[in-house]
Structure formats: structure tokens, C-alpha cells
Amino acid sequence: SAEPGRPYRVVLLGASGVGKTAFASIFAGAADSMDSDDCELYEVTEKEIEVDGEPASITLIDTWDSEQYMQTGDAYLLLYSITDRASYLRASELRITLRRFRPAQNTPIILVGNKCDLVRRREVSVSEGRACAAVFDCKFIETSAAMQHNVWEAFHGIVRQLRLRRDSK
């Protein structure tokens, strides 16, 4: 559980190619550092952002060794690509795995349908995304990392949920 003074650990989860690195790059402030260095097991960026006029320290963890982070994250952005139905199914699996690792904890999770700029390649509808989030009891947002659309809203949303959880303790 996050206390003031300790950064929130926010973990990016999702199938390969859904845009985790793109999200991490936007968070880090490097809009175009999308060159793939696939040797890295994970990348960590620590940063203070302002949400609703209040600073929030975030450690963003971008990893494909996700199991390791199922237990240690404070919150999760669960990404899929709206152009890739398999990645949508993978997000459901990851949600189930998360629940197994984190039983009885209302860990903040946002289901993120990324690449919403690729309208003609859409394989997952908005309503399917919304329905999946409802089943899994998490928030939902569609984003485009390429257009920098809604990416910060996703980060801000996760901070708001973390604060709600903190304040309800």
C-alpha cells in the first residue's frame, strides 16, 4: 500500500506489441524513443506528475516478465491493442492472473484499449472493451499512444484511483 513519500508503483501489462513501450516513452517525456531494445527485461522510470493540483510520485514499470510484478505493483495499466483481438484475450488472462496473485485487494486497474487511431484495423469494439472492464470490475479507456490521445488521462486515472484507495483506509 502506498504512503505519502513512497512512489506509487504502476505496472504496464499486456501482450507484446500493444504499446507499452510507447506509453512508457510518453510518460518519460521522450516522444520518439520507440526504438526496440528487446534485450531489456524491463524499464523503470520514476517521475513526479501533477494530478488535480497535487503532486504524485510514480515509478512506472514496463516489463514483459509480468509475473514478477503481479505481487509488487500498486496499480496496473492493462493494455491491449484494438487492432489485435488476441491481445484483448491476453488482457483478460492477465486480469485473471492478477486476481489470483492479489485476492481480496481492490488493486487499481485500468483496462486500456490502445491504438484507437487505427480505425480501419479495429478488431475489438468499444463496447467489447467496456463490457470486459465491467466483468473484471475495472475502469476502461481507449487511447492512442501514436496520437498522444488519452495517455495522460490513463495515468491520471490510475493516480486518482490510488488516492481514493489511500483515503479510504
- Site membership for ligand GDP, residue 17 (CB under 6 A): yes
Using CB under 6 A as the binding rule, the residues of this chain from 67 to 126 that contact ligand GDP are 114-115, 117-118
Taken as a whole, the chain contains a residue count of 169
Asked if residue 138 lies in contact with residue 165, where contact means CB atoms within 8 angstroms, the answer is no
Count of CB atoms situated within 10 Å of the CB of 161: 19
Rank residues 28 and 146 by Cβ distance to ligand GDP and give the closer one: 146
Task: State yes or no: residue 18 binds ligand GDP (CB under 6 A).
Answer: yes
Q: Which of 89, 92, 68, 83 is nearest to 18 (CA)?
A: 83
Residue 9 in contact with ligand GDP, rule: CB under 6 A: no
Q: Tell me the Ramachandran region of residue 94: left when phi exceeds 0, alpha when psi lies from -120 to 50, beta otherwise.
A: alpha
Smallest distance, ligand GDP to C-beta of residue 71, A: 21
In 3D, which of 131, 143, 138, 10 has the Cα closest to residue 74?
10
Q: Choose which of 2, 49, 51, 146 interacts with ligand GDP (CB under 6 A).
A: 146
Number of amino acids touching ligand GDP (CB under 6 A): 17
| Phi and psi based region of residue 161 (left: phi greater than 0; alpha: psi -120 to 50; beta: remaining) | alpha
For the CB of residue 98, give the shortest distance to ligand GDP in the complex, in Å. Answer: 17
Task: Identify which of residues 7 and 17 has a Cβ nearer to ligand GDP in the complex.
Answer: 17
Residue ranges that bind ligand GDP, judged by CB under 6 A? 14, 16-22, 34, 36, 114-115, 117-118, 144-146
